[in-house]
């Protein structure tokens, strides 16, 4: 991280395995940086105040709300976004396929945050854990369509395929 | 909304951070950002200077020594809750701490940030008081220790002076035969607490030797109830619990958009009953 002449700060970050370097204003949210500066619009922003979890991404392997971090803070770190899940040829990951098969989404707006949060849960509980653990894991992500039951079934299904996230 | 522009500093040494804070007393310290950043986005706060503590070295350690737990201010809440040695020394920290936000916010949210922000619903504030923790406050002029029981003065009001920051929270070892209880009521699972009760009871020779009870949202600041004087020498049966609940008659929680004061007062009584019953059961088990 280094300051430039016009008040911008240079950020070097690895996103989905690829290195990026950009100059940003310190107040630029990480969520806006990912979408606007890197062009990775899979990460959605909804409330932008940390309530909804839709913008959840993985920072160094842990979920964080990307709207509650500034881009300057991720200099030297590694991020994974929803774009990291599917294969380059477009084949869905087992988790994404399970959401598709079990109606784990309707409008799709919360889905990127839900998927990254579910991925973290499955990375830690390859067998899916208990239903209560799944509910606890996604408690911080709001979905206004599904009623959550199908999301829980999707995560359970992804676990039972034995392929994880 | 987007935050207003600010000058950004990311010191790597504590002395550097404290010197910046001394030079800019109105600067805001950015730790986990789970409370500060929403306030900046709402523009409730428009700091001209933000000092990011996340690159400061030496503030993220957890040490457990003879049952005492020392936690650096920058320790993430999830790391504290997950730590097995911390859990063995003070089960209350996991019991109450896992109610603080969600996994995702606890990955960023820090122990020192929660303490310094002093939100009226903060489970870690009540935990620190109930466990008799000591908070270390440091400025460029030096360091002082503040008892958690004297630290929280009101909503977002603490004993910290301008230029001071929280650097450490130390929870002393629990006495033998101590048990804990924590109960919280919230409108939705894992939402902000409408009310909460945190209790600690130490049993000796089958009776209460010490007891602490801290209530959240029963008053503007965490409320410390003198349960020890009511329970000392007794068994914690229904009558004993009723005596502690009777001591809550005078509480008058403020009304707000989430709940009436009357509702919060009723919750305080019920949660007190549950927290004391749990603490007593756990203490007897610990003493056995």
What is the pLDDT, as a whole number, of residue A162?
Answer: 59
Indicate the pLDDT class of residue A161, thresholds 50, 70 and 90. confident
* Encoded tokens for B208: 């209460």
Count how many residues are written for chain B. Answer: 288
Which residue in the set A1, A25, A49 is minimally distant from B38, CB to CB? A49
- Cα dist. B41→A118, B27, B97, B225, B268 in Å? 27, 16, 26, 37, 33
Q: Does B108 touch chain A (CB under 8 A)?
A: yes
State the nearest Cα–Cα gap between A89 and chain B, in angstroms. Answer: 30
Summary mean pLDDT of chain A: 95
B104 with A70: Cβ contact below 8 A: no
Over residues B32-38, mean pLDDT = 98
What pLDDT was estimated at residue B188?
83
Q: Does B7-52 carry CATH code 2.30.30.100?
A: no
> Same domain, yes or no, for A11 and A78?
yes
Query: Which residue intervals of A2-90 are DSSP H helices?
Result: 30-32
Percent of chain A having pLDDT more than 90? 92
List the CATH number of the domain containing A45: 3.10.20.30
What is the pLDDT of chain B when averaged over all its residues?
A: 97
Residues 6+ apart with CB under 8 A from B36: B28, B30, B45, B113, B117
Both tokens of B140, joined, read 């460029």
Q: Which fold has domain B62-171?
A: 3.30.465
Q: Do B104 and A53 touch (CB under 8 A)?
A: yes
Residues 91-110 of A with CB under 8 A from B: none
**Residue B42 and residue A49: Cβ atoms within 8 Å?**
yes
Domain end position, chosen among A18, A47, A82: A82
pLDDT level of residue A6 (50, 70, 90 thresholds) = confident
Structure tokens, B258: 């989430």
- CATH number, domain at A127? 1.10.150.120
Chain B residues whose beta carbon lies within 8 Å of the beta carbon of residue A50: 34, 37-38, 105
Per-residue pLDDT, A28: 98
Query: Within a domain: residue A88?
Result: no
Mean pLDDT value of segment B215-226: 97
Which of A12, A26, A129 to mutate to test binding with chain B, by most B CBs within 10 Å of its CB? A26
Predicted pLDDT of residue A4: 64
Domain segments of chain B as ranges: 7-52, 62-171, 178-287
- A61 and A104 co-located in one domain: no
Rounded to the nearest 5 degrees, what angle is found at the Cα of A129, between the Cα atoms of A92 and A165?
A: 15
Q: What is the ipTM of this complex?
A: 0.94
Last residue in a domain, options A82, A110, A139: A82
Inside any domain, residue A150: yes
Mutate to test the interface with B, among A139, A141, A148 (most CBs of B within 10 A): A139
CA-wise closest residue to B39 among B78, B77, B1? B1
- Band (pLDDT 50/70/90 cuts) for residue A23 is very high
Q: Which contiguous run of DSSP H or E holds residue B133?
A: none
Quick one: how far is CA B113 from the chain centroid? 10
- Does residue A87 lie in a domain region? no
Residue A53: list chain B partners with CB under 8 A: 102, 104
Percent share of chain B, pLDDT over 90: 95
Higher per-residue pLDDT: A21 or B254: A21
Out of A89-93, A157-161, B282-286, least confident range: A157-161
Answer yes or no: CATH 3.40.50.2300 is held by domain B178-287: no
Q: What whole-number percentage of chain B has pLDDT above 70? A: 100
A129 plus A156 within the same structural domain? yes
Q: Is 70 exceeded by the pLDDT of residue A1?
A: no
Put simply, the chain B residues between 175 and 194 with a CB less than 8 A from any chain A CB are: 189-190
Same domain, yes or no: A58 and A102: no
pLDDT digit string, tens, across residues B81-120: 999 999 999 999 999 999 999 999 999 999 999 999 999 9
Domain endpoint, select from A27, A51, A82 = A82
| Domain of residue A127, residue span | 94-160
For residue A9, the model assigns a pLDDT of: 96
- Residue A70 shares a structural domain with residue A98: no
Shared-domain flag, residues A106 and A76:
no
Residue A63 lies in a domain: yes
């Amino acid at each position: 991280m280094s300051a430039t002449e016009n008040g911008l700060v240079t950020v070097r970050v690895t996103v989905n395995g690829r290195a990026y370097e950009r100059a940003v204003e310190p107040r630029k949210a990480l969520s806006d940086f990912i979408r606007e500066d890197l062009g990775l619009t899979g990460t959605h922003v909804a409330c932008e105040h940390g309530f909804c979890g839709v913008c959840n991404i993985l920072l160094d392997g842990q979920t964080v709300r990307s709207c509650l971090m500034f881009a300057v803070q991720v200099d030297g770190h590694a991020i994974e976004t929803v774009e990291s899940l599917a294969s380059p040829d477009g084949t869905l990951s087992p988790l994404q396929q399970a959401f598709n098969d079990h109606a784990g989404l309707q409008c799709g707006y919360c889905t990127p945050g839900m998927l990254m949060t579910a991925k973290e849960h499955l990375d830690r509980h390859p067998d899916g854990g208990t239903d209560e653990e799944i509910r606890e894991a996604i408690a911080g992500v709001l979905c206004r369509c599904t009623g959550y039951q199908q999301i829980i079934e999707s995560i359970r299904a992804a676990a039972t395929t034995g392929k994880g996230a | 909304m987007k935050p207003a522009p600010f000058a950004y500093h990311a010191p790597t040494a504590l002395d550097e951070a404290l010197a910046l804070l001394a030079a800019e007393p109105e600067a805001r310290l950015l730790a986990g950002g789970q409370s500060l950043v929403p306030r900046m986005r709402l523009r409730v706060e428009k700091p001209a200077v933000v000092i990011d503590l996340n690159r400061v070295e030496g503030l993220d350690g957890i040490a457990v020594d003879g049952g005492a737990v020392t936690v650096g201010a920058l320790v993430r809440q999830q790391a504290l809750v997950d730590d097995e040695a911390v859990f063995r020394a003070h089960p209350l920290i996991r019991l109450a701490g896992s109610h603080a936000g969600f996994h995702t916010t606890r990955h960023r949210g820090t122990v020192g940030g929660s303490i310094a922000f002093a939100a009226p619903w903060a489970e870690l504030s009540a935990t620190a008081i109930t466990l008799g923790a000591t908070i270390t406050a440091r400025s460029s002029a030096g360091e002082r220790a503040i008892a958690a029981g004297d630290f929280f003065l009101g909503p977002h009001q603490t004993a910290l002076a301008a230029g001071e920051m929280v650097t450490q929270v130390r929870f002393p070892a629990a006495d033998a035969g101590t048990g804990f209880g924590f109960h919280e009521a919230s409108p939705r699972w894992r939402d902000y607490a409408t009310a909460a009760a945190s209790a600690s009871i130490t049993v000796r020779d089958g009776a209460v030797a010490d007891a602490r009870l801290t209530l959240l949202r029963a008053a503007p600041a965490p409320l410390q109830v003198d349960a020890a004087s009511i329970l000392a020498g007794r068994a914690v049966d229904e009558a004993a619990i009723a005596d502690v609940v009777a001591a809550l008659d005078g509480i008058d929680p403020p009304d707000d958009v989430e709940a009436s004061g009357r509702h919060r007062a009723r919750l305080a009584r019920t949660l007190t009953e549950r927290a004391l019953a749990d603490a007593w059961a756990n203490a007897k088990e610990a003493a056995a």
